A and B are shown apart, each in its own frame.
Chain A
Amino acid sequence: MALRTTEVVPAGEHPRARPPARQAARRPARGRDQGRNLFGYALLAPQMVGFLAIGVVALVWVVWLSLNHVNVLAGTQEFVGLANYTRILSDPNMATVLPNTFFFVCVLSIAGTIVALLLALMLNQALRGINIYRSIIFIPALVTMVAWSLVWSFIVQPEGLLDAVLAFLGLDPLPWLRGGWLTLSVFAFIQLTKNVGINVMIFLGALQAVPQELIEAARIDGAGRMRVVRSVVVPQISPAILMVFMLMIVGSFKVFEVVLILTEGGPGVQSSVLSFEIYKQAFKLNDVGYASALSVLLFALILLLTTAIWQVRKRVVFHEAD
């Protein structure tokens, strides 16, 4: 099982080849600009047109819906201004749902990235049989989230496999799915184990591209193993870390399947998250207007968070091109 591809441009070339973008941007002569622009826009057109026609229209639409009260059964729609938004403020459920959502964002993005990084570092060692471990840890990533949640629903149900393990250890069963921190942690665990394999692979690829000379040089300077990781390896793979971190943030807002399959957000809304509430309000309770207001809130939150991270990135990430 070869985990490293041979198709990659030899790793040694990278440090020297950089930063190509700036050169490319500076170089063109004025006369060529028009052709360059035309060519560039032609290449960008399909993606941009699609995005404008679907994404932007959908966003405007959802904002408009959020200002209306929609009665699906009667097929009527009535402009209510900001009423749906003031309802968010007074909705007691939101006092639980929003912190839950943030819990997943924080835990999954931070813990998810760190766990994946640690696993990748461990899997990057030259140990016998390491390839088997690499494959096994990747397996859950191949299972759909629904399948993974279904299986886990049997494991964490009362008198399920997990309770049996506890009993074997002489412990009392725990109410895994009855709300509170325990349920949120169970969900975070299920979500994290499902996707950690992908991130591990991304990190492994980055780790294997770290120039060996740099590590050797640090070793010769007398740096310990931890020190090498901290001062050489992590900065070298920082683009991959950023990538994984961002993907985890986006993914963490979509803890959905596990909520739907295991608890439907219950008891009450104790294990619910924003994306599940949107689904419930829109498609179960037929309150499209309110669900739209929640959607706008969700989008605003994500935009805020990613903008903040994108700002921080410039300071943290080692040699970013722009």
Chain B
Amino acid sequence: MRRTNPRTLASRGLSYLLLSAVALVSLGPILWMVSASFKSPNEILRYPPTIIPENFKWENYQQVFELQPFAQQFLNSVYIMALVAVLTILLSVPAGYALARVRPVAAGVIFLVLLSAMFIPPEATIIPLFQMASTLGWIDTHYPLVIFTAVLTTAPIATFVMRQAFLTLPAEFEEAATIDGATRLRTMLQIYFPLARPSLASVTVLACWYSWNQFLEPLIYVRSPEMLTVPVALTRYEDAFAGPLWGVQMAATTLSVIPVLLVFFFAQRHVVSGLTAGGLKS
């Protein structure tokens, strides 16, 4: 242990100060949201704002479920997210492997094409995709949210990540396996895929995160309340006269955040390792 000199102490103090400021910006809105979820509309608008609600309005939470099939909507979001993740992995892992290790003729060109797909903004293709979805009879279903999202956005990004991951693995394994007479398929499945597990976690987290956040797509493709996903549902808390119900809205928002936070804290190791691993290091 080195002795701490005044300079390190000062720099430490500064670090704590800065980090605390950032933490306040991160956590402040969340705390405000929880507090507002217990307030009456009146109190939410009060100036200067109150920190602790005067009367805890638990009814807000009750109304979340009365006004919309919120539990169903939450489940929709979860299972769409899971499907997007699965489809993303199915598409991207083999493709990433092919681009990094198999490298068939024109792999470079294919890689560039896929890379450009990563940069097609969903806004730019939403109109033709909407018309495509309506031709296929996919309006007010979850197909576009899973298939379009995975194929066009998350899988190309994941392919990029997986390619990087497979690139960083040593080629010697491949040679050794070939000498042992293992087929290409076996080499890939038994040697490289297990080694790429951290990157797999990484693309899973990214795909889940992307799908969970999606707003424009469900806003356009989905119509009936029981088919909606959470982000759109949050914007639909209104009374019978289309007046906004702020307290209920904040309660719903809180409910949408809590499970994710819980999952994060229990699965933190995996989430974080997923994000920090994955071919992103030098």
Q: Are B29 and A282 neighbours in the complex by a CB distance under 8 Å?
A: no
Instruction: Name A205's contact: one of B151, B170, B276 (CB within 8 Å).
Output: B276
In this complex, how many residues of chain A approach chain B with their Cβ under 8 Å: the count is 120
- 9 CB < 8 A contacts A-B: A7-B273, A17-B170, A50-B91, A61-B131, A151-B32, A167-B48, A193-B26, A209-B282, A319-B282
Residues of A within 8 A of B36 (CB): 151, 154
Q: Are B275 and A322 neighbours in the complex by a CB distance under 8 Å?
A: no
Residues of A within 8 A of B29 (CB): 140, 148, 151-152, 155
Q: Is A302 an interface residue (CB 8 A)?
A: yes
Known: A17-B169, A142-B260. A55 touches B269 (CB 8 A): no
Q: Is A18 an interface residue (CB 8 A)?
A: yes
Instruction: Name B216's contact: one of A58, A125, A246, A256 (CB within 8 Å).
Output: A256
List the interface of chain B (C-beta within 8 A of A): 12, 15-16, 18-20, 22-23, 25-27, 29-30, 32-33, 36, 44-45, 47-49, 90-92, 94-95, 97-105, 107-108, 110, 113-129, 131-132, 147-148, 151-152, 155-157, 159, 164, 167-171, 174-175, 184-185, 195, 197-198, 209, 212-213, 215-216, 220, 230-232, 234-235, 246, 249-250, 253, 256-257, 260-261, 264-265, 268-269, 272-273, 275-278, 280-282
B108 to chain A, nearest CB (A): 7
Residues of A within 8 A of B278 (CB): 205
Q: Are B168 and A14 neighbours in the complex by a CB distance under 8 Å?
A: yes
Q: Is A79 an interface residue (CB 8 A)?
A: no
Q: Are A58 and B151 neighbours in the complex by a CB distance under 8 Å?
A: no
Q: Quick one: closest A residue to B280, CB to CB?
A: A240
Task: A205 to B18: give the CA distance in the assembly, Å.
Answer: 21
Q: Are A125 and B123 neighbours in the complex by a CB distance under 8 Å?
A: no
Task: A210 to B246: give the CA distance in the assembly, Å.
Answer: 47
Task: A62 to B215: give the CA distance in the assembly, Å.
Answer: 21
A182 to chain B, nearest CB (A): 17
Q: Are A155 and B32 neighbours in the complex by a CB distance under 8 Å?
A: yes
Within 8 A of B (CB), among A307-322: 310, 318-319, 321-322
Q: Quick one: closest A residue to B173, CB to CB?
A: A20
A72 to chain B, nearest CB (A): 11
Instruction: Name A35's contact: one of B12, B156, B184, B264 (CB within 8 Å).
Output: B184
Q: Are A250 and B277 neighbours in the complex by a CB distance under 8 Å?
A: no
Residues of A within 8 A of B280 (CB): 202, 205-206, 239-240, 243
